[in-house]
Structure 1
Amino acid sequence: MSSNNTSYDLNLVNALFDGAASGEYVRDQISGTYSAYHENESTESPKPSAYDSDTIAQLKKREAYAIATAESGKVEDAIGELSRIIAEYPEYASAYNNRAQAYRLTNASPSTIIADLDASIKCASDNQILGQAYTQKAIVLKAEGDQDGAFYNFSQGAKCGNEVAKMAAPKENPYAKLCGQMVTQAMQRLRNPN
C-alpha cells in the first residue's frame, strides 16, 4: 500500500480480507475503533455470590443431577429438581439458567423462559453464567422476531465472554448487515463491471 493511505483505508482493507467471509462487517472495525470483547467488559457486573463455597458445591451436584436427568429424557423431572433448588436458594443464578434451558426443551412459553433468564442475569455472580443467560435470552428473542432484543443480548453475552454470542453479535447487528451487503455488492461490481 502506498503511504497516502489513511488508517481508515487500512482498517477497511483489513476488514475486507481478514476472515469476515460472510460479508458482514462491524462499523467499528472499519473506523478503527473496534476492539475485541473481553470477559471483564460486561455492563452488568456480576455481583458477589450469595452463598458460601460449600453451599455452591452442593448446589452444583444437585444441578448436575438435574441436567443428567434432562439429558436422559426426563425433562419435567429435571425442571422439578431445578425448581426445588430455586425455591430453597432463590439467588442461585445457574439454576434459573438451566431451568430456562429445560423449559426450552418442553416448548414452554417464551415469557416463562425469559423470566428465568432475567432472574439468572439479576443473580449472576460470574461472567460465565451471565454470558450464558444473555445468550440464551438472545436466542429466545430472535426466535420471537425481536431482532433488536436479540442483538442487545448477544452483545451483552459476548462482553461476558460467551463464544456463541461473540460469533452471533456481529451477525445480528443491523448496521453490520447493511454495511456488509453494500460492501459485497460493491466488490461484486468491481470484479464483474459488466
Structure 2
Amino acid sequence: MCTQNDAAVLHALFNPNAPFGDINEQNPENPQEDANQDCSFAPALLEEVQNLELLGVQAAESGDLKTALQKFSKAMELLPDRASAYNNRAQALRLQGDITGALGDLNRALELSEGKGVAARQALVQRGLILRLNGNEEAAKNDFLQAAEQGSDFAKQQLLLLNPYAALCNRMLRDMIQNLRVPNP
C-alpha cells in the first residue's frame, strides 16, 4: 500500500521537472487555519463569496476563463480583504497569459494574508512557480523557502528541484528505477 508521502516522493522522482502538481497547502499543525482567517467576515457574505469562487474554479477547469475571471472578480468586490479570490484569479490570469496581472493579485493576496496561513502559502507557491518559469530562480527560491518554512510540502519539493545536485540525483534514481522496470537489452 502506498501512503500519501510515498506517492509524493514517487511523483517527485518520476516528474522531477514538473512545474505544477497537486498543491495541498493545508497546515497539518493547524487545520482550522482558514476558518480562523475567515472568522472576521459575515457568515452569509463569506458563504456567497466561497460559492462564487467554487463556480469560478469550475469554470476555469472547464476552460471558460472569462466566466472564471468574472466570478473571482465578483468575489473580490464582495470581500476585497479576503486573499483567497486573489489567489484564484491569479491562476486564471496566468492561464490567460496575463503574468503581470497574476503577479499583482498574488502580491495582494500576500498583503491581505500578512504572509501567513494557507492563502499566503498558496500565493508564495504560485508566485514562485511563475518566477521560476520566467527564469528568476533566485526570487522563486525565496518564495518557495518562505512557503516551505510555513509547512508547504510542494514548496519543499520545488526547493529540491532548484538544487542542481538534488535534481541530478532524482533523475539518476528515476532512470535506475525505470531500468529495473524495463531492462535495457
**TM class by shorter-chain length?**
0.5 to 0.7
Superposed CA RMSD in Å reads 3.0
Structure 2 contact 160–166 (Cα < 8 Å) conserved? no
Structure 2 contact 49–78 (Cα < 8 Å) conserved? no
Partner of 1:9: none
Moved over 3 A (4+): 47-50, 176-181
Q: Could you tell me which of 139, 151, 158 is aligned with 2:141? A: 151
What TM-score comes out, normalization by structure 1 length?
0.61
Q: Could you tell me which of 90, 97, 102 is aligned with 2:92? A: 102
SS in structure 2 opposite 1:161? coil
Distance 2:69 2:123 in 1: 17
**1:130-159 deviation per Cα after TM superposition (whole angstroms, max 9, x unaligned):** 111100000000111111110011111222
Distance 1:159 1:55 in 2: 32
**1:73-109 deviation per Cα after TM superposition (whole angstroms, max 9, x unaligned):** 211111011112212321110000000111111111x
- After TM superposition, the structure 1 = structure 2 runs for residues 22-41 of structure 1, keeping only pairs within 5 Å, are none
Q: Could you tell me which of 59, 66, 73 is aligned with 1:76? A: 66
Q: 1:120 to 1:180 in 2, by over 3 A?
A: closer
Distance 2:129 2:28 in 1: 20
User: Which has the higher mean CA deviation after the structures are superposed, 141-150 or 48-57?
Assistant: 48-57
Unpaired segments ≥5 residues, structure 1: 1-20, 22-37, 41-46, 182-194
Distance 2:55 2:126 in 1: 21
Structure 1 contact 141–147 (Cα < 8 Å) conserved? yes
* 1:86 aligned partner, one-letter code: M
- After TM superposition, the structure 1 = structure 2 runs for residues 17-166 of structure 1, keeping only pairs within 5 Å, are 48-49=37-38, 50-108=40-98, 110-124=99-113, 127-166=117-156
Identity of aligned residues (%): 25
Task: Indicate the structure whose relative CO is greater, using CA pairs within 8 Å and at least 6 residues apart.
Answer: 1
Larger Cα-atom Rg: 1
